[in-house]
Structure 1
Amino acid sequence: MRKTLLSLGIATLAFVAAIAQAQQAPIDLPDLGNPADLAISPKEEEEISRQVAAELYYFNYVLEDVEVGEYLNTLGWRLAAFGTEKPPEFRFFMIADPRINAFALPGGYIGMNAGLILAAGTESEVASVMAHEQAHVTQRHAARGQDQGEVETIATWLAVLAAIIAGSANPNVVIGALSLGQGINYNRQVSYTRTNEYEADRVGIRTLAAAGFDPNGMAGFFAKLEQQTRLYGNRLPEILLTHPVNTTRIAEASARAAQYQKREVKNSIDFDLMRARIRVLMSETPSEIGAYFEGELNGGKVTAENQYGLAMALAAQGRYEEADAAIAPLVKANLKSASVPILEARILIGSERTGQGLALLKKTLDALPRHPPTILAYAEALINAGEPAEARRVLLSHEQALGTRIETYRLLSSAAKAQGNIAEAQYQQGVYHYERGDIRSALQQLNAGLRVAGISTADRSRLSAKRQEILEEIPKDQLRRLQRE
């Protein structure tokens, strides 16, 4: 699986791939008579998602930015609250890929490509993709796409998912990887997915409208994808080349949207700022992206998005005085987004005004005590300022961050290391790797902690308990392989 992902690169499982599969055909919803559990259980779906997500983290395909992640979580759970089914434990993450793609894994893991956010013209368009992907999960399309006995093991599903998620170059490689699945008929998979897409459209548009977004967002994005398809050229997998986006799919989405009250929906300030943030994070050189934002502003596009992007790009270059001037209009505007004071604080700290920066972060945290990006930004600033004990207190006293943000464990490890508590640092680093799905590294960190000289009885018990908990979750065949290695 790792070889497949590494050689082909991350691409898509659902939205763009399946949009391209739509044909001129009437809606034919799947037969709900056979329970999806006959093919694959929810527990197995969760295991599939966990293992695939681990591969994404392993190859650094995930854009691990706390503020971007928080935006996706906020958007995702807002939609989930208005879904037609009880939502699973969704996990949302940004994929560091400039192409316009998104995918849903069976079990609640939803990935959105950075390129999709940048290509969307409105927040409702992004929300339409998210609602569509959530429908794939809640309607259990992955499980319903298989008859009992066709997919017998999680390993088989992993091979199939790796092939579908990966790949932008050689369609023969994708089809070859699909053949690893036991008895899976490739053509039948393509055909069945088409009906899933119509159902995901229907459920997604309903969710979109109920959550207060523009229900026309989906049709608008369909039309945009139709225009974008030609840009992919020969890099597109064969399945997309033979099933392009068509006007029937767009018309169908428009007709469904017309059933709901028409509304004008403005983009949130966080949508605008995160677009700028993603653009900077995805750029190869801060100077080039800085020049882009400067050009936009000089061209008359004086927006919060461009001002924030320029300030962030300048700060990344160490040009803090210029960054301070760039962000000043946003500070004066008193926008309702914590991303502005967080960036302002980082600029202050970078320009050796650490006390002012820490004070601003504390003020922001006092106003938003349950906001993970502010919690983590303040804790990291405290560690860098030589106050690891206070950083640890901040992390442990704000429940919202614990257990919900992987970055929390990395910072707890850094704080413990700065305090000289190596056993604690190894424990938290082990949990960090475990939450990312990297079992091998997690066990290595925990084992290293157990070998620390002079380790206390409490630390030894804690490390041993976590180690045993992880070992008991590993299937026996994988455990034997790990032990050999």
Structure 2
Amino acid sequence: MPGFSRKRSGCLLLAGTLLIASLSSSAEQRSHELPDLGTTRTSFQGLSEYQLGRTWLRQFRAQTSQWRDPITQAWLRSLVDQLVPCSQLDHPRITITLVSSRMLNAFAVPGGVVGVNTGLFRYAPSHDAFASVVAHELGHLSQHHFARQMAASERAQLPTMAALLAGMVIAAGAGGSSSSNLGMATIAGTQAAALQNQLAYSRQYEQEADRVGLQTMACAGMDPDAMAHMFATMAQLASLQGDSPPEFLLTHPLTQSRLSDIRARAKQYHDAAHAPGPEYDMIRARVMLASNMEHPEEVRSQLRESNASPLALRYLQALVDSVNHHPDQALAAFDRLAEEQPDLLMLPASAADAALDADRNRAALQRAQRILELAPDYFPARMIAAEAQLGIAPEEAFTRLRAIARDHDEDPDVWNLMAEAAGRSGHDAWGHLALAEQLQLTGHIDRGLDQLDIAEKLSQQTGDYALTGRIRERRQAFRGYQQALDKF
């Protein structure tokens, strides 16, 4: 399991989510075809879309809880990588944030930031249903809805990104519908008229994102009809919950005409979808169990209700055994599953993670190394190996984490683990530099700058002038990040 018996278990506690609005335009599009976007590059307070997205992400990470399971993260990354080439994105550099929240939500932010709440796994019964929500969000990005919104801002005063962030994070804070209403009210209190216009215009944008999402799914070999089923499920939840609809629908208004349009367009695609296999069901079991540790039988029941693969039910039991401190049973079960499904790297990775949870560091390292012999870039195995080495050979862990950081320089958890490895192996300057990177990625620029000051002094004391130069370069970059936050 994702580290329940280790120190990172606290990071898996459920917290809030973002109800970010899929921002809308000022003109109704009468045609049912996607519009000619023309020039969609924009800036906000002098920030490009990319800079805006990364600035927003730093603020968001500072105020919400992220889901820190590399196995789930790797699966989501692979899904996005399948969808992006078909999504019409002109600059498909996507950063994914997985939010630890029970609420059903997903969002897209300018500059290629896609966020998904872990609650989506609970409500999406199949791989393609889950993918349909992600494809929809990629549609918002490819159609540059934020840029078009900004183009309309000359004619209507719109909520600032900072106001949206504040309201949406408040909406996430308590994890319930009342907090959602409070978050919306926070924005409405100062920007009521603009927000009303914004939500009205968004109906057009939602339809555009639907159409791009359907095209994306068909191109990627997935079933477009799964979007119709998924959105119908959300509509049904909305009708049952009354004033407390799924959070996704608060910012993605779903009308009956829009749902009918999705169904009609989905039928236009030939049925060429590929069977996705059991991996999604296993990931879903993993996430739902971590969110409901005390009642695994409820997770098992929900998986059965959605006709999950029997392999996923066996995987769930292996996870339960690991959580209940029966590592031998868990490892044997994971190994049997891996023999039956040799192409699913998540299975031997789950075994390595279970060994790490049981404080069997050498066994975890050996298992991770075997995976890396076959797939050297597989992120979960790289992280498990590094964490296992931390307790055995900190110097080797530090070397390994430097390599991982080069490939995943926007992942705060990589830098956090690297800071620990550096401290244990006597690389004090590197430890403070790594901690500074973790802090700036989570919105704490001032504290990050303090760490850079310490790192520079230590690098000078040891005569590591190459590192000193790197630290000074990073200080300049940090100050740029700080200026962007000030504009936000």
| TM category, shorter | 0.7 to 0.9
| Structure 1 SS opposite 2:461 | coil
Task: Say which of 425, 429, 436 aligns to 2:435.
Answer: 429
Distance across 1 between alignment mates of 2:146 and 2:411: 27
The 3 A distance-change label for structure 1 pair 125 and 139 is: same
Please tell me the root mean square deviation across aligned C-alpha atoms, in Å. 3.7
SS at match of 2:407: coil
1:270 aligns with 2:279: yes
Paired residues of 2:53 and 2:112 also in contact (CA < 8 A): yes
Partner of 1:5: none
Which amino acid counterpart does residue 340 of structure 1 have in structure 2?
A: L
| Cα deviation, residue 476, structure 1 | 8.6
SS in 1 for 2:86: coil
125 and 382 in structure 1: CA distance in 2 versus 1, 3 angstrom threshold: same
1:76 aligns with 2:80: yes
Offset at residue 450 of structure 1 (A): 3.8
Q: Distance in 2 between matches of 1:268 and 1:455?
A: 56
Tell me the distance in 2 between the aligned counterparts of 1:242 and 1:400: 36
User: TM-score of the superposition, structure 2-length normalised?
Assistant: 0.82
Instruction: Give the superposition deviation at 1:457.
Output: 3.1
Aligned length: 460
Residues 1:64 and 2:68 aligned together: yes
> Is structure 2 residue 329 aligned with structure 1 residue 322?
yes
Q: CA deviation at 1:418?
A: 1.1
State which of 400, 423, 426 in structure 2 corresponds to 1:420: 426
Partners of 1:28 and 1:41 lie apart in 2 by 33
Deviations along 1:129-153, one digit per CA (max 9) or x if unpaired, are 1111011111111221242535789
Shift in Å at residue 45 of structure 1? 2.9
- What residue identity is the alignment partner of 1:467? R
* 2:187 match: 177
1:233-244 pair list within 5 angstroms: 233-236=242-245
Q: In the alignment, which of 149, 154, 177 is matched to residue 149 of structure 1?
A: 154
User: Deviations along 1:100-134, whole A, 9 cap, x unmatched?
Assistant: 11111122111111111221122111111111101
Q: How does 1:219-298 map to 2 (within 5 A)?
A: 219-236=228-245, 245-283=254-292, 286=293, 288-292=294-298
Q: How does 1:292-441 map to 2 (within 5 A)?
A: 292=298, 303-351=310-358, 353-384=360-391, 386-397=392-403, 401-403=407-409, 405-441=411-447
CA distance in 2, matches of 1:242, 1:453: 48
Partner of 2:213: 204
Instruction: Pick one of 463, 470, 482 that aligns with 2:478.
Output: 470
Please report how far the alpha carbon of residue 361 of structure 1 lies from its aligned counterpart in structure 2 after TM superposition.
1.2
Measured in 1, the distance between the counterparts of 2:331 and 2:255 equals 48
Letter of the aligned partner of 1:69 in structure 2? Answer: Q
| 8 Å Cα contact 1:171-1:238 kept in structure 2 | no
Displacement of 1:463 in angstroms is 2.8
Moved more, 246-255 or 448-457: 448-457
CA 1:82 to 1:56, structure 2 compared with 1: closer, same or farther past 3 Å?
same
Report the 3-state secondary structure (helix = DSSP H, G, I; strand = E; otherwise coil) of the residue aligned with 2:243.
Answer: helix
Q: Give percent identity, aligned residues only.
A: 24
Structure 1 residue ranges without an equivalent (≥5): 1-7, 19-24, 480-485
SS at match of 2:114: strand
TM-score, L = length of structure 1: 0.82
> What secondary structure is seen at the aligned counterpart in 2 of 1:92?
strand
- Paired residue type of 2:446: R
Structure 2: which 5+ runs fail to align?
1-14, 172-176
Deviation per CA, 1:164-196: give whole Å up to 9, x if none: 565242646524424545x96222211110000
How far residue 89 of structure 1 moved from its aligned partner, in angstroms, is 2.0
8 Å Cα contact 1:401-1:408 kept in structure 2: no
**CA distance in structure 2 between the partners assigned to 1:160 and 1:298 by the alignment:** 39
Cα distance in 2, alignment partners of residues 350 and 238 from structure 1? 34
Greater alpha carbon shift after TM alignment, 262-271 vs 420-429: 262-271
Deviation, structure 1 residue 388:
1.5
2:197 matched to which residue of 1? Answer: 188
